[in-house]
Amino acid sequence: MYSEKVMDHFMNPRNVGEIENPDGVGQVGNARCGDIMKIYLKIEDNRIVDIKFKTFGCGAAIATSSMATELVKGKTIEEALALTNKAVADALDGLPPIKMHCSVLAEEAIKAAIEDYRSKQLVKSK
Protein backbone atom coordinates (compact mmCIF):
# COMPACT_ATOMS: atom_id res chain seq x y z
CA MET A 1 0.00 0.00 0.00
CA TYR A 2 2.74 2.52 0.97
CA SER A 3 6.09 2.90 -0.78
CA GLU A 4 9.38 2.30 1.03
CA LYS A 5 10.01 6.06 0.98
CA VAL A 6 6.67 6.79 2.68
CA MET A 7 7.46 4.21 5.36
CA ASP A 8 10.98 5.60 5.83
CA HIS A 9 9.74 9.18 6.28
CA PHE A 10 7.03 7.95 8.64
CA MET A 11 9.36 5.81 10.76
CA ASN A 12 12.30 8.25 10.58
CA PRO A 13 10.81 11.69 9.96
CA ARG A 14 13.24 14.49 9.13
CA ASN A 15 13.08 18.01 10.60
CA VAL A 16 10.63 17.25 13.43
CA GLY A 17 10.21 19.87 16.12
CA GLU A 18 9.87 23.59 16.59
CA ILE A 19 12.14 26.53 15.80
CA GLU A 20 12.58 29.02 18.61
CA ASN A 21 11.71 32.52 17.36
CA PRO A 22 10.71 31.37 13.85
CA ASP A 23 10.52 33.84 10.98
CA GLY A 24 7.31 32.24 9.75
CA VAL A 25 4.77 29.70 11.01
CA GLY A 26 2.01 28.03 9.05
CA GLN A 27 -0.67 25.72 10.36
CA VAL A 28 -3.24 23.92 8.29
CA GLY A 29 -5.69 21.17 9.06
CA ASN A 30 -8.30 18.97 7.53
CA ALA A 31 -11.33 18.57 9.78
CA ARG A 32 -12.56 15.60 7.75
CA CYS A 33 -9.55 13.41 8.52
CA GLY A 34 -8.17 15.16 11.59
CA ASP A 35 -4.66 15.84 10.23
CA ILE A 36 -3.01 19.04 11.48
CA MET A 37 0.37 20.27 10.19
CA LYS A 38 2.43 23.10 11.60
CA ILE A 39 5.55 24.33 9.78
CA TYR A 40 8.23 26.61 11.28
CA LEU A 41 10.67 28.54 9.08
CA LYS A 42 13.99 30.30 9.66
CA ILE A 43 14.84 32.50 6.68
CA GLU A 44 18.07 34.34 5.89
CA ASP A 45 18.74 36.30 2.69
CA ASN A 46 15.51 35.03 1.09
CA ARG A 47 16.56 31.39 1.68
CA ILE A 48 15.03 28.78 4.00
CA VAL A 49 17.97 27.93 6.25
CA ASP A 50 15.96 25.83 8.70
CA ILE A 51 12.54 24.24 8.68
CA LYS A 52 10.77 22.10 11.25
CA PHE A 53 7.34 20.55 11.51
CA LYS A 54 4.89 19.14 13.99
CA THR A 55 2.14 16.99 12.56
CA PHE A 56 -0.79 15.34 14.26
CA GLY A 57 -2.15 12.73 11.92
CA CYS A 58 -1.73 9.50 10.07
CA GLY A 59 1.49 8.01 8.73
CA ALA A 60 1.00 9.60 5.33
CA ALA A 61 0.57 13.04 6.95
CA ILE A 62 3.84 12.62 8.85
CA ALA A 63 5.66 11.30 5.77
CA THR A 64 4.46 14.15 3.53
CA SER A 65 5.42 16.74 6.17
CA SER A 66 8.89 15.21 6.43
CA MET A 67 9.40 15.02 2.67
CA ALA A 68 8.08 18.54 2.05
CA THR A 69 10.55 19.99 4.57
CA GLU A 70 13.38 18.11 2.89
CA LEU A 71 12.34 19.40 -0.54
CA VAL A 72 12.37 23.09 0.45
CA LYS A 73 15.22 23.25 2.99
CA GLY A 74 17.98 25.41 1.52
CA LYS A 75 15.71 26.73 -1.25
CA THR A 76 14.74 30.33 -1.89
CA ILE A 77 11.27 31.49 -0.93
CA GLU A 78 10.26 31.54 -4.59
CA GLU A 79 11.49 27.96 -5.10
CA ALA A 80 9.60 26.83 -1.99
CA LEU A 81 6.41 28.53 -3.20
CA ALA A 82 6.66 26.49 -6.41
CA LEU A 83 6.40 23.22 -4.46
CA THR A 84 3.30 21.27 -5.42
CA ASN A 85 1.49 18.46 -3.68
CA LYS A 86 2.25 16.31 -6.73
CA ALA A 87 5.99 16.94 -6.28
CA VAL A 88 5.72 15.85 -2.64
CA ALA A 89 3.79 12.70 -3.56
CA ASP A 90 6.18 11.92 -6.45
CA ALA A 91 9.21 12.33 -4.15
CA LEU A 92 7.64 9.68 -1.90
CA ASP A 93 7.14 7.35 -4.89
CA GLY A 94 3.41 7.96 -4.76
CA LEU A 95 0.57 7.91 -2.26
CA PRO A 96 -2.68 5.97 -2.27
CA PRO A 97 -5.46 8.12 -3.77
CA ILE A 98 -7.24 8.29 -0.41
CA LYS A 99 -4.08 9.84 1.12
CA MET A 100 -3.32 12.48 -1.54
CA HIS A 101 -4.94 15.13 0.69
CA CYS A 102 -1.90 14.76 2.98
CA SER A 103 0.41 16.05 0.26
CA VAL A 104 -1.99 18.96 -0.31
CA LEU A 105 -1.79 19.84 3.39
CA ALA A 106 2.03 19.75 3.28
CA GLU A 107 2.06 22.17 0.32
CA GLU A 108 -0.48 24.45 2.02
CA ALA A 109 1.43 24.46 5.34
CA ILE A 110 4.66 25.57 3.69
CA LYS A 111 2.85 28.29 1.74
CA ALA A 112 1.07 29.44 4.92
CA ALA A 113 4.41 29.70 6.75
CA ILE A 114 5.89 31.75 3.89
CA GLU A 115 2.80 33.99 3.86
CA ASP A 116 3.24 34.51 7.63
CA TYR A 117 6.92 35.39 7.08
CA ARG A 118 6.04 37.87 4.34
CA SER A 119 3.34 39.54 6.41
CA LYS A 120 5.84 39.99 9.27
CA GLN A 121 8.33 41.51 6.84
CA LEU A 122 5.72 44.03 5.65
CA VAL A 123 5.05 45.07 9.24
CA LYS A 124 8.80 45.49 9.87
CA SER A 125 9.25 47.63 6.76
CA LYS A 126 6.53 50.13 7.78
| Catalytic-role residue among 16, 33, 77, 104 | 33
| Catalytic-role residue among 25, 39, 51, 102 | 102
Query: Is 58 annotated in the active site?
Result: no
Query: Is 33 annotated in the active site?
Result: yes
Q: Are 47 and 36 in contact (CB under 8 A)?
A: no
Start-end of H helices in the chain: 4-11, 59-72, 77-81, 85-91, 100-125
Q: 85: Cβ–Cβ under 8 A, 6 or more apart, which residues? A: 100, 103, 104, 106, 107
Q: Which residues belong to the active site?
A: 33, 102
